[in-house]
Amino acid sequence: MAAEPPPYVVGLPRLDRCLVMGVVNVTPDSFSDGGQFLDPARAVEHGLALAASGADLVDVGGESTRPGAVRPDVTDELARVLPVVNGLAAGGFAVSVDTMRADVAEAAVDAGAVLVNDVSGGRADPRMLAAVAALGVPYVLMHWRAHSVEMHRHTEYDDVVADVTAELRAQLEVAEAAGVDLSRVAVDPGIGFSKTTDQNWELLAGLERLVGPDTGLGRPVLVATSRKRFLGELLVEGGELRPPIDRDDATTATTALAATMGAWCVRVHDVRASADAVRVAARWTRGPA
């Protein structure tokens, strides 16, 4: 059964279906599309193509969070992200910036970004939550325990759904204390971040507990499974993981399921298929006409 639609994030359109966020990684080393869009003109072109395919938001990031990734310095991150945010926002598209740094969030919002997507949930940069409070933009607060180089060492949970929910709740309180208006905040369980493959599946199966009015956090939930390793492991062939580029059909299946379970937004690389899937899910859960 679908959960009641969650309260929506202030500043984004309220839709009768799950939103689709398309991914533009302006990085040399992202696991899914690293190096393809380092050139700003190519990245903008790709973002426009995602918008034309039905993305409600285009998420621009300049730091890879693949396991083991080394962080770029802030100057490099700004140089990667800003021309792309500028180019897409100038075209009138809703752009989010995927960053853990307050400096980048501020500059990106100045360049036209309408949402800050922070995989660290405000934990990587001590200035981030105050910056988001001052910017007054919607904010995605993800469950996060450690930077990519060491996140695989932080996968201890008693009950992964309950523990992630509790840690998100605690971080929402920190955000509120920093002045962030929680009506502008969506949460994200952080699929693949300090989670084993089994824990990712457990979180997805328990999504209703995160979304649900009694057990959940009372905030919209973003789900980002796209091309992630746990899908490659599920689809292993001849002892080889299915490569990231061939995980889009499986990603679309997760979109349909997440949307049916009440997710507010999915973050995906292949937008067209997910844009269809969220419409199917919305119609499916609405029931007889």
Interface segment toward ligand PMM; rule CB under 6 A; list 61-69, 103-111, 174-182, 273-281: 61-69
Interface segment toward ligand PMM; rule CB under 6 A; list 9-17, 59-67, 164-172, 196-204: 59-67
Q: Out of 6, 9, 17, 65, name the contact with ligand PMM by CB under 6 A.
A: 65
CA separation for the pair 172, 170 (Å, rounded): 5
Q: Does 58 bind ligand PMM (CB under 6 A)?
A: no
Q: Out of 56, 188, 248, 270, name the contact with ligand PMM by CB under 6 A.
A: 188
The two three-digit tokens of residue 178, written as one number: 């920093």
**Between 227 and 272, whose beta carbon lies closer to ligand PMM?**
227
- Mark out the alpha helices in the chain (DSSP H runs): 40-52, 74-90, 102-110, 128-135, 160-177, 197-205, 207-211, 229-234, 248-260, 271-286
**Between 65 and 86, whose beta carbon lies closer to ligand PMM?**
65
Residues 141, 168 contacting (CB under 8 angstroms): yes
3-state helix vs strand vs coil in the chain, percent to 5: 45, 15, 45
Cα separation of the two ends of the chain? 17
Min dist. Cβ of residue 98 to ligand PMM (A): 5
Sheet holding 222-223, edge to edge: 185-188, 139-142, 115-118, 95-98, 57-61, 19-25, 265-268, 222-223
**Between 44 and 97, whose beta carbon lies closer to ligand PMM?**
97
Q: Does 167 bind ligand PMM (CB under 6 A)?
A: no
For the CA atoms of the chain, what is the radius of gyration?
17
Q: Does 140 bind ligand PMM (CB under 6 A)?
A: yes
**Between 98 and 248, whose beta carbon lies closer to ligand PMM?**
98
Count CA within 13 A, CB hemisphere, residue 202.
14
Closest by CA to 51, choosing from 82, 89, 83, is 89
Reduced to 3 states, what is the DSSP secondary structure of residue 108? helix
Interface segment toward ligand PMM; rule CB under 6 A; list 9-17, 70-78, 153-161, 221-229: 221-229
Q: Does 119 bind ligand PMM (CB under 6 A)?
A: yes
Q: Out of 224, 271, 275, 278, name the contact with ligand PMM by CB under 6 A.
A: 224
Q: Does 267 bind ligand PMM (CB under 6 A)?
A: yes
Q: Does 25 bind ligand PMM (CB under 6 A)?
A: yes
CB closest to ligand PMM, residue no: 224
Q: Out of 22, 121, 190, 220, name the contact with ligand PMM by CB under 6 A.
A: 190
- Beta pairing partners, 20: 266
Interface segment toward ligand PMM; rule CB under 6 A; list 85-93, 105-113, 153-161, 185-193: 185-193
Q: Does 142 bind ligand PMM (CB under 6 A)?
A: yes
Q: Does 60 bind ligand PMM (CB under 6 A)?
A: no
CB within 8 Å of 266: residues ≥ 6 apart: 18, 19, 20, 21, 222, 223, 224, 225, 226, 254, 255, 258, 259, 274, 278
Residue with the two structure tokens 């061939």: 246
Give contact residues for ligand PMM (rule: CB under 6 A): 23, 25, 30-32, 64-66, 98, 117, 119, 140, 142, 188, 190-191, 222, 224, 226-227, 267
